[in-house]
Every structure is written in C-alpha cells, then in structure tokens.
Structure 1
C-alpha cells in the first residue's frame, strides 16, 4: 500500500512546518498580506495545519469552517488566489517537497478555487 500524501509530506511535523512557512510567506506577499493584518497568526497556522492534515489523508483533525464559510464576504480575487498558489509553491520548495507531492498539493488547492474566489 502506498503512503498517503500526509505521510509523504512528513506527517504531523512536516505539515505543521509547511503550514507555518506558508503563513509566514503570506505575510510577506504584498498581494495578500493585508488579509492577515488583524489575524491571530498562531491560530491561523494551527488551522492551516489541521486543514492540511485532513486534506492530505492524515487524521480528521480539522475543526474549522468549510471553505465557503471561511471565505464568505472576503471577495477574494483571482489574483489573490494565484498569489496563494505561488506561496504554496514557495513553502513546498523551502521544505524540499518532491514534484509529485507538489502537484498533488496544488491540485487540492486548485480544486477549491470556486469555494474561495469571489465569495
């Protein structure tokens, strides 16, 4: 049996680091940094780690809202969504994630585009 994406990304420790690096990258990205001005960053990192854990085949630990509920009223643009994908790639590269895993992670993110953009 092949390993889950969660396992291939390093399990809980790997996912936690990826989520932390992703949020740190968002905070430096001029396209989306303003979205985090009033955010509780440690809580956002924890939520992102839980979301990644569940979304990559790890234990179902995510307790946050669904994607539509999370992004409702934010009116996220396509450019902002692309900026998030760029940041995901930066975080994956920083953590030495392989090409196959990068493609799988990007697929997961891209599959949620309609639940995020324009809500």
Structure 2
C-alpha cells in the first residue's frame, strides 16, 4: 500500500515536475509568448537566433527553478537589470502573465500551483514594468 506523501513538505518546484517539468513549462511559455500578438514582437527575434533562445531559456529555467524551491541557483541579472530600457507596458506584463498561467493549466498544474506562481509574478511587477 502506498503511503500518501505529506504535501506540506513538497516544494512548488517538485510539484512542477522538477528540472524536466520546469524546462517543458518554459519551452511552452516562450512559444506562447511568440504566438501572443501583444508581446510576440519581443520574442520572435529569438527564433532567428537559436543560441540566444537557448541562453534565454536556460536563464528562465534557472530563475523559475530557484524561485520555486528548486536546488538551482540563479546567477543571472536582476529583474530591473534584465528589463532595463525595455519599457514593458502593463498590457505586455499582463499578456505574459496570462501566457504563463494558461500554459501551466495546459500542463495540468492545479489552481494552488498557479496561484503560487501568480504571487511570484505579481511580486516582480514593479521591477519589470517600465524598467
């Protein structure tokens, strides 16, 4: 008989499927951004430069993993530094947020996990918009 695991000790990172789950999620989030008319212009150029795209995905995976309780350390730029000069609008931020949450739902992540990610996203808003 399987003994249920105490979910209070399971990190968001583990619930997202660990490294492989986060990578799959990031791949699909970036693709959703490329399809989203509100923000696609910011992401489509990455398609023309596979090395740059892979670097961006690696940084996003590290950031997402570290922020969700994973073992990885994020050694990239701060949110303000990464978005400085981009003049990200509220509409663009919300479009990206919607893509993330929709992709998580498509991956089968429950409402609790999506709400945790939303809280993280919301905590970064002031560091990204109009940076």
User: What is the TM-score when the length of structure 2 is the normalising length?
Assistant: 0.86
For 2:55 and 2:27, locate their aligned partners in 1 and report how far apart those are by CA, in whole Å. 10
Match of 1:109 in 2: 121
Q: Distance in 2 between matches of 1:73 and 1:27?
A: 20
Alignment of 1:61-100 (within 5 A): 61-100=73-112
Q: Deviations over 1:55-109 (max 9, x none)?
A: 0010133221010000000000000000011100121012100110000001101
**Which residue in 2 is equivalent to 1:56?**
68
- Structure 2: segments with no counterpart, 5+ residues: 1-7, 47-51
SS in 1 for 2:45: coil
Choose which of 24, 41, 46 in structure 2 pairs with 1:34: 41
* Structure 1: 5+ residue stretches without partners: none
From 4, 21, 24, give the equivalent of 2:28: 21
* Aligned structure 1 segments of 4 or more residues deviating by more than 6 angstroms: none
Give how far 1:38 is off: 3.1
TM-score when normalising by structure 1 = 0.94
Select the structure of larger CA radius of gyration: 2
Which residue is equivalent to 2:16?
9
**Over the residues paired in the alignment, what is the CA RMSD in angstroms?**
1.1
Q: What's 2:55 paired with?
A: 43
